[in-house]
Amino acid sequence: MYIQFLLLILLTGLFVWLKSHPQQSFKTGSVLWVPAMLGSVLIFNIVVDGQGYFGTGVFETQRRLDTNTKMDAYEALSTKPEALILGSSRSQAMPTAPFTTLCGLQGFNAAMGGAKVEENYAFFQYVMENAPPSIIVWGLDLWALNNYSVIGMELVGSPLYWHMSPDPILILRNYGTLISRQFDAELLNSNINLLYSSLQGTLNPTYLNIDAYGNIIPIESAEPPSSNLANASEFSLYAGYTGLLPARQTMLEDVLTSAEANAIPVAIFIPPMHATRIQLYEAQPIYRDRHAEVTDYLDMLTTQYPSFVWYDFTQVSAFDGIEDNFWDASHPRYENSQLILEAILKDLC
């Protein structure tokens, strides 16, 4: 529907142009008009920037990159925290309070939605340039090391991108991918609606709501886990995932090497899933293979880095967690997240 609408606009514009320039041929008009229209679409989407990738700031965006939100919060602290939480959205509910109660340290939760190894690697590099932490706890998703998604795409548009130290070819590829996405007709339609809502004052942006130390401000809810506990579409995360990507392994190992050199203990844990989701996943050979591959890899790393430990918390029983304390099938709530951190810090502090 959106594609047809965009083509209709292009053809209508070409027809109007030819009517006003009868001396020009259709071929000449096409050569001039089509690039002009595509350029207009690109400029419009960059200016509106509904997903917050370009940071143009002309209009309020629908969302703001978690990388920027966490980086701004860290920069605003006059005294930098001594403990660091890394990870994806599955670690965002982890409170920093146990660092204080069990270790006497101030923590910061730097977990970012959708983060794989490279986003966490970039934040680690950024923190090391400012104030190296005393402890690092990292929630590593099984797909964080995947060999199918493009490295760094979630970092494009964030100052953290340059802490990832990508090679020039990767920079060009990522920005090329981002630019090409701006010609998606559905994105254009979304940005038109967003601009209208912004001008009308009815926009309801979705920003990460955190306190000064990166903790998500709790939303009190006694509701059970949502109904998508066995949603097979979630298995798309493993589509095309045939092994670990060496470049992501190198980044993880660079973190451990730097931490070892600075006497910083690092604890990695595999975040838990609800029992219903585990039952669904364990029936799939691809999940069993990737789980075994990641755990074997982490076991190998413990032999190389004495200050590194890791925990398989896929099952809530591994940390004496609460079976139904999940927002959905794979995102633990505050209580389970706190129990995970306490179980780790009892070994580290």
Give the span between the Cα atoms of 277 and 287, in whole angstroms. Answer: 12
Q: Given the DSSP bridges, would you call strands 266-270 and 107-109 parallel, antiparallel or unpaired?
A: unpaired
pLDDT(10) > 70:
no
- Which has the closest alpha carbon to 254: 305, 212, 296? 305
* 223 inside domain: no
For 202-229, how does the pLDDT look when each residue is reduced to its tens digit (9 = 90+)? 766 666 788 899 998 875 554 555 555 5
Same domain, 158 and 115: yes
Structurally, the chain folds into a number of domains equal to: 2
Structural domain of 39: 1-48
Same domain, 161 and 287: yes
Segment (H or E) for 138:
strand 135-139
The residue among 298 and 53 whose pLDDT is bigger is: 298
Q: Given this model, what pLDDT does residue 148 score?
A: 84
pLDDT(66) > 70:
yes
Same domain, 106 and 249: yes
pLDDT(138) > 80:
yes
Same domain, 111 and 23: no
Segment (H or E) for 139:
strand 135-139
Same domain, 251 and 326: yes
Does this model's pTM top 0.85? My answer is: no
For 184-204, how does the pLDDT look when each residue is reduced to its tens digit (9 = 90+)? 777 777 777 777 777 777 766
* 58 inside domain: no
pLDDT(7) > 60:
no
Same domain, 211 and 298: yes
* 186 inside domain: no
Phi and psi of 206, rounded to 5°? -110, 90
Q: Given this model, what pLDDT does residue 168 score?
A: 62
* 192 inside domain: no
Same domain, 211 and 264: yes
Token digits of residue 190: 């979304």
Phi and psi of 282, rounded to 5°? -65, -10
Percent over 90 (pLDDT), the chain:
44
- Mean pLDDT of all residues in the chain? 81
Same domain, 83 and 166: yes
* 40 inside domain: yes
Give the span between the Cα atoms of 276 and 230, in whole angstroms. Answer: 6
* 155 inside domain: yes
The residue among 29 and 1 whose pLDDT is bigger is: 29
The residue among 25 and 157 whose pLDDT is bigger is: 157
Q: Which of 155-164, 244-253, 310-319 has the lowest mean pLDDT?
A: 155-164
Q: Which SS3 state, helix, strand or coil, does residue 308 take?
A: strand
Most confident of 96-100, 177-181, 219-223: 96-100
Q: Given this model, what pLDDT does residue 162 score?
A: 66
Query: Sheet harboring 107-109: ordered strands across?
Result: 107-109, 83-86, 135-139, 266-270, 308-312
Same domain, 139 and 268: yes
Q: Given this model, what pLDDT does residue 78 score?
A: 92
Amino acid at 252: L
The residue among 336 and 63 whose pLDDT is bigger is: 336
* 254 inside domain: yes
For 36-58, how does the pLDDT look when each residue is reduced to its tens digit (9 = 90+)? 677 777 777 777 777 677 766 66
* 221 inside domain: no
Percent over 70 (pLDDT), the chain:
72
Q: Read off the pLDDT band of 18 (50, 70, 90).
A: low
We report the CATH number of the domain holding residue 114 as 3.40.50.1110
As a whole number of angstroms, the longest Cα–Cα distance in the chain is 81
Same domain, 304 and 256: yes
Same domain, 77 and 138: yes
For the residues 236-242, what does the mean pLDDT come to? 79
Give the span between the Cα atoms of 25 and 21, in whole angstroms. Answer: 9
Same domain, 1 and 91: no
